[in-house]
Amino acid sequence: MKALIIVDVQNDFVDGGTLAVPGGTEIVPVINALQANGHYDYVVATQDLHPANHGSFADNHEGKLPGETVNLSGLDQILWPTHCVAKTAGADFVDDLHQDNWDAIFPKGTDARIDSYSGFFDNGKLKATGLGKYLKENGVNEVHVVGLATDYCVKFTALDAAELGFQTILIQDACRGVNLQDGDVARAITQMKENGVRIVDTGMLLKGAVV
């Protein structure tokens, strides 16, 4: 059984958002095409859903700017612009992203005390989102990961999927990265490969070259 995991394709992460990922909007039609071909038994999505006082927001640390690092609940935390606050338009999924065939949505980042890049766990792995349990209970053994951003939430979702025993595939052209430091995306791809994640593109999938 195969599942497509769509990571954080939300308004604040695309053009015009408070934490826009370069080229983020470009992946929406790619993800829609993947959903349309009947390739997946399950389609699920993750959603950043932060409280306004979240500790990863630079605005909540006096004198700090986005890109700086602080200690948050014992972990190094990169500070970000305020984004994906619950009950705001920025947290909503992009309008053009097809959602009709989604089986489940898994919120993350809901605890102000710790960030959650992965769709499976928070950054300290103190709490699970329920995604791993859901997939295993439904007999899924292979997951394909797409979304935003390659070097953060997508990477950690893929790494956790592989660690949990799922055959994990990253669809590279259905993702975009932040590249906060030059080369971050390339390093993320390398790290995923080294941890058993297979890297493909949509052309290979839609032509049936990936089995």
Of 12, 48, 84, 108, which one is the catalytic site residue?
108
127 an active-site residue? no
CA 56-147-203 angle, 5° bins:
160
Residue in 8, 48, 151, 160 annotated catalytic: 8
Which of 115, 122, 151, 153 is catalytic? The answer is 153
Say if residues 44 and 4 touch (Cβ distance below 8 Å). Answer: yes
Catalytic residue list contains 153: yes
Angle in degrees, 0-180, between the axes of helices 184-194 and 155-163, rounded to the nearest 10: 10
**Could you say which DSSP state residue 135 is in?**
H
Other residues' Cβ atoms within 10 Å of the Cβ of residue 136? 13
Contacts of 71 (CB under 8 A, 6+ apart): 77
Is 136 an active-site residue?
Answer: no
Active site residues: 8, 108, 153
